[in-house]
């Protein structure tokens, strides 16, 4: 049976229609036909409103032993004032923000809400900068830029090396457990007993839509992290944009199970915000889309039935692979589910099909899969589809309240954005702020888009790569980087994590492939702990990559999309060298720079035995 003939479970979505104006200079202005509805001063006002309406409803939960720690809206609101008072007592201010080093947990959530409550910016930082990095370079850069007045780390002992290396003894510390000797340390639970003075109410009354709520540091895939200013207005209006597009969240309080790190805008603003803004429940998933951690996600799905599930494509790959052996997780995922959403990369066709098959097996229906587009600077929701997406790249139409400008840029169309959800700029960096906006105030995101159908705006847009990622071969032929990267990943799935594309001023395109070692080991029937080079040298792995890449080469139409040589990289990308961000995004330039010898091996006159040499059809 053709999966596409299976009906889709009904779900109420908003109107994403848009109107366009073509200008004489070749630019186009496009905006939603729907007005953005009213939204509160700050996300904490929505929290307070739901606390009055449904005080006993569970807002936030994380794992504790075999069960869940849970706090209702009322319990969260009860804990915010003493924590806010403790932050004020420590002298925190817009000039001396709160810095959170550890990951997702209830204490992190409460401290963040308490800071916003009284107008103190807070900055959630990638735990990788403290726990994986060995030189703490990015953490040191962020600390110097932010000048925190206080830091929080859930486990003092675990974060002690980073804290001692980067922060002076005069910067006070909050921990949940294991205080560090020789520092001014407060234990989180003790702060809940802080006597509350009228200063908290006064500070809360003084916050405005333009008060800085948090500073989110970009992952630094093109340099050192920048601090994106996130205001109360950005967070609140963005949730209203989401609410109008994903209208089903208005019908019943949404339930989310989510692992995405809160130092990124998707997890810490978009996903938590959906629960806060709509009276929902947010379960913190302590799993991750890695072989070592995904089992926790499957365990959590045995007790949680989400109504909205958003994730990265890799997590969906793990889910599809696990469904047959974990029927209870599959049953609970689809039991009440209204919508699946993915972002961050394209979803492979076998994953689309696997999700459709699983949904049909459980419910007799497919569950709609949508995607969207945005960035830290747009809070992040800027585009979405409100129709089923069945191929990668579609990003939909702009959200209510947004205006976009399309600017011809060589053979691409550059996207620029304006709206109340767009950042006013970068923390203490006037130069980068000025560079980020054009003369009309549109944010220059650096991406290109194209119409899904040049004759029908209603079909939305397709992501067309970065404006500056494309390059020329030595012949003068332009290479569309995004198209080539996407084609290699699709051809080699599920054995590939990412690929670095080479070829600038060279005679042909090359590919340096970071394989998914766990998937490769499974394919070869090897134990997961097998050494990386042994996995990649296994004949079954070599043959599968050779076959997949050969098929791709046969499908190429010319040198602009023909990957002529490829190699597999055994060593993982290095975060300290800037080869990879904390969320797993590859810095193409850094990998090529730090692994220059590998690049040269791709272009050797006589390629070595580890190089895949791939002929084009008819060549």
Residue 2: pLDDT above 70? no
Residues 6+ apart with CB under 8 A from 611: 565, 566, 567, 601, 602, 604
- 471-613: CATH class: alpha beta
In residues, how long is the chain? 619
Q: For the chain, what are the domain ranges?
A: 3-40+235-466, 73-207, 471-613
CATH placement of domain 73-207 = 3.40.50.980
pLDDT digits (tens, 9 = 90+) for 525-567: 999 899 999 999 999 999 999 999 999 999 998 888 999 999 9
Of 210, 209, 147, 159, residue with least CA distance to 183: 159
On the CB side of 184, CA atoms within 13 Å amount to: 10
Q: Is the pLDDT of residue 223 over 80?
A: no
**482-525: per-residue pLDDT in tens?**
889 989 999 999 999 999 999 988 889 999 999 999 999 999 99
pLDDT attached to residue 516: 93
Same fold? 73-207, 471-613: no
Q: What is the arithmetic mean of pLDDT over 589-597?
A: 92
Give the model's pLDDT for residue 618: 63
Predicted confidence (pLDDT) per residue in 445-479, tens digit: 999 999 999 999 999 999 888 787 788 787 778 78
**Interval 264-321: pLDDT, tens:** 999 999 999 999 999 999 999 999 988 889 999 999 999 999 999 999 888 998 999 9
pLDDT given at position 480:
85
Query: pLDDT-derived band of residue 583, with 50, 70 and 90 as boundaries?
Result: low
Closest CA to 402 of 382, 385, 386: 382
CATH fold group of domain 3-40+235-466: Rossmann fold (3.40.50)
Mean pLDDT of 331-348: 88
**Token code pair at residue 374:** 């945005």
Q: Rounded to an integer, what distance in angstroms lies between the CA atom of residue 311 and that of residue 270?
A: 12
Q: Counting Cβ atoms within 10 Å, is residue 195 exposed (0-12), middle (13-18) or buried (19+)?
A: exposed
pLDDT of residue 4: 65
The pLDDT of residue 219 is 65
């Amino acid at each position: 049976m053709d999966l596409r003939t299976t009906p889709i479970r009904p779900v109420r979505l908003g109107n994403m229609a848009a109107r366009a104006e073509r200008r004489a200079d070749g630019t186009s202005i496009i905006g939603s036909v729907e007005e953005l509805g009213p939204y509160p001063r700050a996300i904490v006002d929505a929290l307070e409103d739901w606390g009055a309406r449904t005080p006993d409803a569970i807002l936030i939960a994380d794992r504790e032993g075999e069960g869940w720690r849970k706090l209702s809206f009322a319990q969260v609101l009860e804990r915010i004032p003493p924590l806010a008072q403790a932050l004020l007592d420590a002298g925190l201010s817009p000039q001396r923000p709160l810095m959170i080093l550890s990951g997702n947990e209830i204490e992190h959530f409460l401290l963040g809400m308490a800071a916003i409550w009284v107008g103190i910016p807070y900055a959630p930082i990638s735990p990788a900068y403290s726990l994986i990095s060995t030189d703490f370079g990015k953490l040191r850069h962020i600390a110097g830029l932010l000048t925190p007045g206080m830091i929080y780390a859930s486990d003092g002992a675990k974060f002690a090396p980073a804290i001692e290396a980067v922060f002076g003894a005069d910067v006070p510390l909050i921990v949940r457990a294991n205080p560090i000797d020789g520092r001014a340390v407060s234990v989180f639970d003790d702060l809940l007993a802080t006597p509350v003075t009228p200063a908290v109410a006064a500070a809360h009354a003084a916050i405005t839509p333009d008060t800085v709520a948090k500073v989110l540091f970009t992952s630094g895939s093109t340099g050192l992290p920048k601090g994106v200013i996130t205001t109360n207005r950005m967070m609140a209006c963005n949730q209203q944009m989401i609410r109008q597009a994903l209208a089903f969240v208005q019908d019943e309080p949404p339930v989310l199970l989510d692992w995405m790190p809160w130092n990124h805008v998707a997890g810490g603003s978009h996903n938590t915000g959906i629960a806060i803004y709509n009276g929902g429940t947010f379960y913190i998933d302590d799993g991750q889309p890695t072989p070592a951690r995904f089992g926790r996600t499957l365990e959590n799905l045995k007790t949680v039935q989400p109504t909205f599930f958003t994730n990265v494509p890799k997590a969906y790959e793990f889910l599809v692979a696990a469904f047959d052996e974990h029927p209870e997780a599959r049953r609970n995922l689809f039991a009440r589910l209204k919508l699946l959403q993915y972002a961050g990369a394209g979803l492979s066709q076998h994953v689309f099909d696997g999700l459709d098959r699983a949904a049909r097996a459980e419910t007799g229906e497919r569950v709609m899969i949508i995607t969207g587009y945005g960035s830290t600077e747009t809070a992040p929701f800027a585009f979405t589809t409100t129709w089923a997406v069945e191929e990668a790249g579609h990003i939909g139409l702009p959200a209510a309240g947004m205006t976009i400008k399309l600017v011809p840029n060589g053979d691409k169309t550059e996207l620029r954005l304006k709206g109340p959800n767009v950042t006013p700029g970068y923390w203490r960096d006037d130069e980068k702020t000025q560079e980020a906006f054009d003369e009309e105030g549109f944010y220059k995101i650096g991406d290109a888009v194209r119409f899904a159908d040049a004759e029908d705006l209603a079909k939305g847009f397709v992501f067309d790569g970065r404006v500056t990622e494309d390059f020329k071969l030595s012949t003068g032929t332009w290479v569309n980087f995004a198209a080539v990267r996407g084609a290699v990943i699709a051809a080699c799935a599920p054995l590939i994590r990412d690929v670095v594309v080479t070829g600038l001023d060279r005679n042909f395109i090359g590919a340096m492939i970071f394989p998914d070692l766990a998937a490769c080991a499974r394919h070869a029937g090897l134990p997961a702990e097998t050494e990386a080079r042994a996995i990649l040298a296994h004949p079954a792995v070599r043959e599968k990559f050779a076959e997949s890449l050969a098929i791709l080469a046969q499908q190429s139409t010319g040198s602009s999309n023909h990957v002529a040589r490829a190699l597999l990289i055994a060593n993982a990308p290095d975060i300290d060298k800037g080869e990879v961000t904390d969320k797993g995004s590859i810095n193409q330039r850094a990998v090529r720079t730090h692994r220059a010898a590998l690049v040269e091996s791709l272009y050797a006159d006589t390629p070595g035995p580890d190089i895949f040499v791939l002929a084009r059809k008819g060549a």
